[in-house]
Structure 1
Amino acid sequence: MNMIRQGARNLITDVPGLKVGNAEDFGVRTGVTVLIGDVPSPCAVDIRGGAPGTRDTDALDPVSLVEGIDALVLSGGSAFGLDAPAGVQSVLKAQGRGYEIAPGLPRVPIVSGAILFDLASGGNKDWGDETPYRRLGQRAADAAGIDFALGNAGAGLGAIAGAYKGGLGSASAVTEDEYTVGALVAVNSVGSPVLPGSDVFWAWPFEMAGEFGGKRPSPELKPGPLLPLDMKGAVRAGENTTIAIIATDAALTRIELKRLAIMAADGFARALRPVHTPFDGDLIYALSTGRRALKEPRPLEVMRLGVLAADSLARAIARGVYEAESLGPVRSYRDTFL
């Protein structure tokens, strides 16, 4: 029997060697989340949505020069949020982190980032000549640790998931042979996270230990409309994105991590409907801390980890919505149903 359990914290930081930091600006109603590895980590990315916004994802191509990244950033702010990785980069540079181009030259921290649209979240967006995101990136990097908040935290602060308040979610799973997989996600989707006409998350079959309320569908529940009635009301391109990170301690190559990211993207479809629309910028990073050698045959082990990654991502999406709190006119899942 292949038994799976939650990690000790049920967070992506159950993968040894990783830290996560959040920073928020409640006046602007936006925030930044950063994941930092103890050492550079091989990483890949898979983009499924039609409206992504990213920085330095081309550097993650397996044919590129740099083998590992120092940090990944999830940020609010739409394209303005692409300033956040620069703030993280400045913190890491001060720590002596980064890729050595040549002896005697400054090291260059490799920081990739993805953004979601929260410019309609309320708050004061008139920040003048300088966006708040570089500063938020610095604060998030300085705050990085193994414990961190979910829901209205970091990149989840201004997020909306369908008709409900979105948020930052995380989950982890450990196999019986002690491989760990973790997920981190900021949920800002067009699609709904709950079954039509119910308070049950689409991700309910994958829930562990009541982590997002333990609701189950009743036998009387009937199929809903083609498009859920509790989608985001004003659907416009570029204003919705679910951005995520999958991490594992299994030592995977960048090509294997690409396959892991592709498989993990199924977690979006297990937790949101509809998903990967022309209006979403859905994206998932996959990275490895390389702490545990991968068993043979490698393709079979990658497949096993990919299934676990997709399930963990679905759980993290539901947790992000479940842990969120109402903000302004946008009601949370718990204020709506509980």
Structure 2
Amino acid sequence: MDQLHNRITDVPGLRIGHAEDVRALTGVTVIYPDAPAVCGVDMRGGGPGTRETDALAPENLVDAIDALVLSGGSVYGLGAADGVVAKLGALGRGFRLMDLPDIPRSPVVPAAILYDLANGGQKDWGVTPPYYELGKAALDRVTVEFALGAVGAGIGARAGQLRGGLGSASQRTSEGIHVGAIVAVNCFGSVIMPGTDAFWAWPLEQNGEAGGYRPDPSLTVDGDDWGAAKADPSGAMGRTNTTIACVATDVALTPAQAKRMAQMASAGLARAIRPVFAPFDGDVVFALSTAHQPLAEPSQLTITRIGALAADCLARAVMRGVYAAKDA
């Protein structure tokens, strides 16, 4: 197995764009498929903030999206999708049941947000939060090679007691299946093992991509030792949380299959963060299919393999995002 850029954009048909408000210490990341892409979603956190996720249910009308938004800003950040919708609509992209003259299309742009309002940035924006403009700017900047770390939706993130960030990773199988992940890591839990610099997900690291830290072989961990989480079991409840992510493949999937991919990929967060999916986390994982190649038979086994690779890529992306942000 190998990867080209070791980013989600190794999946053919995807580009990524970031935009930040450095003063407010917040930002937006846009995932942009070159053509409408099938999308599924899995929400495990107890406090999610999302847009258009109900539309992704397999039984509903919409079967593909035009873009996906990951944003800081809590509820204010959902406005980033408005900027993306406006720009895509002006470009003539979006859903409609039939062609009617002078009737604009309706771009389908799901979104998820993380809470970075209490991170020290200046949030005195009054009635004009920056997210509408940040959404448009991020869409303008989509590219295959994009920055990791304290950028985009991850610029104001915290990973437990460490600086969080934007991470990505990819995998290409020997027969050419591409799988990738992108994540903004703003978790309540810790990404490192107690008393060490080693990531929980260190066995999944490839080619030193997250610094190559390793734990002492004699290390054991008590169930109530959360290490560098935002609080320990006896401390105050953390509220500045949520990890939001997207995994993708170039294999053609149905909406139901994409949802299963998202569900399996959520295991990657559990491998990389402890504790995870807490009542005050809003953890959300989307899954995209760009459909550049058919689903190989036996289909259920192929979906299982893609879901397992997506979980590994997501765990690696968590490590890479935090590692890339540590010196920012």
TM over 0.5: yes
- 2:159 corresponds to 1:158: no
Of residues 197, 200, 214 in structure 2, which corresponds to 1:199?
A: 197
Q: CA deviation at 1:227?
A: 3.4
Q: Which residue number corresponds to residue 61 of structure 2? A: 65
CA deviations on 1:279-312 (whole Å, 9 max, x unpaired) are 1011100010000111111000000111101000
> Does the CA contact (< 8 Å) of 1:227 and 1:274 recur in 2?
no
Pair 235,267 (structure 1): closer, same or farther in 2 beyond 3 Å? farther
Question: Where in structure 2 are the equivalents of 1:31-50 lying within 5 Å?
Answer: 31-50=27-46
Q: Which residue number corresponds to residue 138 of structure 2? A: 140
1:241 is paired with a residue of what secondary structure?
Answer: coil
- 2:10 corresponds to 1:14: yes
Quick one: distance in 2 between partners of 1:225 and 1:111?
40
Of residues 153, 174, 177 in structure 2, which corresponds to 1:176?
A: 174
Quick one: distance in 1 between partners of 2:326 and 2:213?
18
CA deviations on 1:52-98 (whole Å, 9 max, x unpaired) are 00000011011111111000000000000010000111121122111
Q: Which residue number corresponds to residue 317 of structure 2? A: 316
Quick one: distance in 2 between partners of 1:118 and 1:182?
25
> Does the CA contact (< 8 Å) of 1:23 and 1:137 recur in 2?
yes
Q: CA deviation at 1:224?
A: 4.0
- 2:240 corresponds to 1:244: no
> Does the CA contact (< 8 Å) of 2:193 and 2:227 recur in 1?
no
Quick one: distance in 1 between partners of 2:111 and 2:223?
35
Pair 207,95 (structure 1): closer, same or farther in 2 beyond 3 Å? same
> Does the CA contact (< 8 Å) of 1:101 and 1:107 recur in 2?
no
> Does the CA contact (< 8 Å) of 2:95 and 2:107 recur in 1?
yes
> Does the CA contact (< 8 Å) of 1:92 and 1:109 recur in 2?
yes
Pair 59,237 (structure 1): closer, same or farther in 2 beyond 3 Å? farther
Pair 57,80 (structure 1): closer, same or farther in 2 beyond 3 Å? same
Quick one: distance in 2 between partners of 1:227 and 1:220?
16
Q: CA deviation at 1:219?
A: 1.8
CA deviations on 1:209-257 (whole Å, 9 max, x unpaired) are 1100111222232324523131114754653100000000011111111
Quick one: distance in 2 between partners of 1:236 and 1:21?
33
CA deviations on 1:154-205 (whole Å, 9 max, x unpaired) are 0000100011000000000001110000000000001000011111001111
Q: Which runs of 5+ in 2 are unaligned?
A: none
Of residues 107, 110, 121 in structure 1, which corresponds to 2:105?
A: 107
CA deviations on 1:240-279 (whole Å, 9 max, x unpaired) are 1000000000111111111111110000011000011111
Quick one: distance in 1 between partners of 2:137 and 2:237?
31
Q: How many residues align?
A: 323
The letter for the 1-side match of 2:118 is A
The letter for the 1-side match of 2:53 is T
Quick one: distance in 2 between partners of 1:224 and 1:251?
43
Q: Which residue number corresponds to residue 118 of structure 2? A: 120
Q: Which residue number corresponds to residue 331 of structure 1? A: none
The letter for the 1-side match of 2:258 is L
Q: Which residue number corresponds to residue 260 of structure 1? A: 261
The letter for the 1-side match of 2:58 is P
Q: Which residue number corresponds to residue 278 of structure 1? A: 279
Q: Which runs of 5+ in 1 are unaligned?
A: 328-338
The letter for the 2-side match of 1:208 is Q
**Which shifted more, 249-258 or 228-237?**
228-237
Q: Which residue number corresponds to residue 75 of structure 1? A: 71
Quick one: distance in 1 between partners of 2:72 and 2:293?
33
> Does the CA contact (< 8 Å) of 1:202 and 1:271 recur in 2?
yes
Q: Quote the sequence identity (%).
A: 54
Q: Which residue number corresponds to residue 91 of structure 2? A: 95
Indicate the RMSD between aligned Cα atoms, in angstroms.
1.3
Quick one: distance in 2 between partners of 1:207 and 1:26?
30
Of residues 30, 48, 57 in structure 1, which corresponds to 2:26?
A: 30
The letter for the 2-side match of 1:51 is G
2:110 is paired with a residue of what secondary structure?
Answer: strand
Quick one: distance in 1 between partners of 2:79 and 2:142?
18
The letter for the 1-side match of 2:251 is A
1:39 is paired with a residue of what secondary structure?
Answer: coil
TM-score, reference length from structure 2? 0.96
**Which shifted more, 228-237 or 164-173?**
228-237
> Does the CA contact (< 8 Å) of 2:192 and 2:227 recur in 1?
no
Q: Which residue number corresponds to residue 190 of structure 1? A: 188
**Which shifted more, 226-235 or 83-92?**
226-235
Of residues 219, 222, 228 in structure 2, which corresponds to 1:221?
A: 219
Quick one: distance in 2 between partners of 1:30 and 1:192?
21
